[in-house]
Structures are given as structure tokens and as C-alpha cells.
Amino acid sequence: MLDDLIACMLQRAFAPLVKTGRIEVVMPTGKVLAFGDEGYPEARIRFTDQRAVFHLLRDPDLNFGEMYMQGRLLVEKGSIYDVLELLLRHAKHVPDSKMVQFLDTVRMKLIPIWQNNLRSKSRANVAHHYDLNDRLYQLFLDEDRQYSCAYFENGNESLEAAQLAKKRHIAAKLLLDREQRVLDIGCGWGGMARYLAEIGDVGYVKGVTLSTEQLEGAKQRALQTPVAGRLEYSLEDYRDVQGTFDRIVSVGMFEHVGSRFHDAFFRQCFDLLAEDGVMLLHFIGNFEAPAFNNPWIERYIFPGGNLPSMSEFTQSIERSGLLVSDMEVLRLHYASTLRIWRARFLARRDEAKALYDERFCKMWEFYLSMSETAFRYQDIAVFQVQLVRNQEAVPLTRNYVRLREEALKARERLSPRYAHIVDQTVHL
């Protein structure tokens, strides 16, 4: 009787989701349920105990990843990415269960607690993810450690070339000049700052981060460049930065601010930006109404994170006094980036296991797989927002972006650091 009940519950949950492709679900008793057609991909999962089934059905957003990490949900055919693709490809058109709707309501009310990113909590949140063993990131990132969305101009670039194109694209929008002072908020391992100083040829770049591991890496890498004297990196919260900057850039950091602090972030940027200055903000956002952070991502990957909706961040910009002078939406570029990261990680999975353990490897594979499927099948993308205090600070049309990209690319071809990367392609 219980077996029939579980089978009925799985049927109701899986059948509406899996329209194309095929997934087999093996129950703890060995009974096999099949969903979908004869298309691609194909996958088979097995539940090792009945409670794992109930956990998944009660709260799939949190428990799917947990069951996989704990070995209570096994992937016997295909990969965890294949499973997530099958379940998410048509999920937008399937209403959530009453239980999931209830949990969503509760989680919306918890946003002020989860995203209460005061200075001490922000530091702890950053350490949770970015202060992991530095060798982990060597396994799957590009040579310059760009841990954010790459920019695929043609679609067949190598990861290194696409990440270089991202830096070039952002630099072009910043309208750089030799005499400028630049602030990089959330500088990571310092790659963007190094590019702006070396190829952008600006006079001074200050990068701030809350990660001790990234700070050390940024400082060491700066010493290997001919522009080390123009670079400064510090362990500093964006709220504590002082001074005036001609340009401000922030890549992949705004997602960690938290909706409660959007106003404070943009007001601080307004105060730091020169009257004729330009800012470029690159971050993940969503096209839908404001929402909570995915609970599994919140617990295991990015505590305190937030993917701002357009209605959230644009209102905060308006209240700050900054003006939106340009906005570009990079659709699917992050999905392509994550696909390469996942392939690289899996190719060196044994090394990751030696650093941590099997549970960690499952967690990391699930994180990369879930993130890629989210960018492919859910309403999230990367926004590049150009901001100014004075609307005359930028040209009237976008023509300058392509012209400046070409000029920057010409400099890259003369640089020993970048010349071998500029035109790298891969066979897809």
C-alpha cells in the first residue's frame, strides 16, 4: 500500500515535468517508473530509502541537492546535469505543489534575515565560498581566475578567450583614460584590475575584496605584471571605501549585497564616483518579481546571496541619484561558461576529491549543474548596467564600444600575457 502511494506521488510530481527525453525512477523496493518520451537526454535515478522520496517531494528546492550529496539519490544512468535538465526544461509551465507554494511564502518572509548582510556577516559569507582551498579554483577556472560570466562573441571561443573578451567588453564601456583612478569592488583574484592597468592603461586601480585567499592571490599576481605600481588591493568592505574615483567597476559582487542593502550600495557608489565618472556593474539578475535565494544554494554555496530583479535594482539606482546610461542583458553566456567549468571540474574530479571528499565533489557538481540549467531554462541572466552622475559623461550612441574593443584587442595582441589567448577557439 505504501509503495503504491509513493509511486502515485512520484507520478504526479514527475509526469508534468518530463515532456521530452526520458527518466527512469527506481523506487527503494526496486519498482521502476518511467517518464517522458524516447528523446534525449536519458537518465535513471534510484532512491535508496523511502524517506528520501518524501524529503524530495516535500521540499525539492532544498532536498534534491541534499539527497544527492548524501547518496540517498543515486544517478545510475546519465549525469546529475541530465537529470536536472529533464526536470527543469519545462518546469516554468508546471504549477508548484501546495507544499512548495507554502514554503515559498515562508522563504519570502525570511529574506530580511537571510540577506541581513552587515559587515561581519558579509565577511563570513564570503569566507564560506571564496576562502576554500585555492587549488580547487585552479581545477576549472581560466588562467586569469575569472569567476564570473564569460562573453562569447562567436560561440566557439575557448574559455580563456571568452573571459578576455568579457574584460575587454567591460573596459570598452568604461571609456578609460591614462589619468584615471579606478575602483574595482569585489576584485576577486585581481584579473579585471590588472587588465584595466595593463591593457586599459589607466593610472591607478584599487581592488577591494572580503576574501583573504583572493586578496593574497591578487597581490602575488600583481607582482608578475609590468604595472604592479599602479595596482593596490585591500581587504575592505565597499561601505568603508573612501575617496573619489573616475571609474568604478564591479563584476559578480552585487549578488552578495542583499536587497536590504541595495540603496546603501548605490548611494556609496554615487558618493565615490566623480561628477563626470562612469561605472559598470556586471551581475546576475532575474526577469521576474523579487524572489528568495535558492535554499540549497543559500545553505551550501552562497549564503546571503540574492539575484536582484529589475524592479529591485532599478528603483535603488533611481533613489541614489545615479543615472542608467546603458544596460545590456547577456543571455545564455553564463550557461556556456558553466558548461565549460563543469567539464573541467569533472575532468579533474579526483584532484578535488583529494582536496576534500566525495560529498564535496557531489555538492560542487550539483552546484555547477544546477546553475547551468537555471541559466538555460529559468528566467535569469547577466546584466551589465552602465551608470553615470552626469548623462553627458558618455557618448550619444553605442558605436564607441566596438571601436574601443578593437583598440583594446590590438593592445592585447602586443602583450606577452594576452597575445596567445585573443583568438583562441575550440571545436564544439
The CATH number of residue 281's host domain is: 3.40.50.150
Half-sphere exposure of 313 (CA within 13 A, CB side): 26
Cell of 336: 556556456
Looking at 76, 93, 110, which one is the last position of a domain? 93
422 is a domain residue: no
For the chain, list residues with pLDDT below 50: 427-428
101 is a domain residue: no
Looking at 93, 111, 141, which one is the last position of a domain? 93
Whether 237 and 313 share a structural domain: yes
Judge contact between 302 and 364, C-beta under 8 A: no
Q: Would you give the DSSP letter of residue 96?
A: P
Domain count of the fold of the chain: 2
Whether 77 and 138 share a structural domain: no
Whether 56 and 195 share a structural domain: no
pLDDT for the residue numbered 124 = 87
163 is a domain residue: yes
425 is a domain residue: no
Cell of 45: 535515478
Whether 126 and 82 share a structural domain: no
Whether 352 and 229 share a structural domain: yes
Enclosing domain of residue 353: 119-413
Angle at the Cα of 315 (from 314 to 320), degrees rounded to 5?
Answer: 95
Work out whether strand 22-26 and strand 32-36 pair parallel, antiparallel, or are unpaired: antiparallel
pLDDT for the residue numbered 1 = 62
CATH number at residue 27: 3.30.1050
111 is a domain residue: no
Cβ contacts of residue 406 below 8 Å, gap of 6+?
Answer: none
Looking at 93, 108, 136, which one is the last position of a domain? 93
SS3 16: coil
Whether 201 and 307 share a structural domain: yes
pLDDT for the residue numbered 127 = 82
pLDDT in tens, 44-99: 999 999 999 999 999 999 999 999 999 999 999 999 999 999 999 988 877 778 77
Whether 34 and 127 share a structural domain: no
Whether 277 and 376 share a structural domain: yes
Continuous H helices in 356-413: 358-377, 399-413
pLDDT for the residue numbered 224 = 92
- Rounded-to-integer distance, Cα 411 and Cα 201, Å: 10
- Rounded-to-integer distance, Cα 14 and Cα 23, Å: 9
pLDDT for the residue numbered 369 = 98
13 is a domain residue: yes
Whether 234 and 332 share a structural domain: yes
Whether 78 and 148 share a structural domain: no
Whether 263 and 320 share a structural domain: yes
pLDDT in tens, 336-390: 999 999 999 999 999 999 999 999 999 999 999 999 999 999 889 999 999 999 9
SS3 386: strand
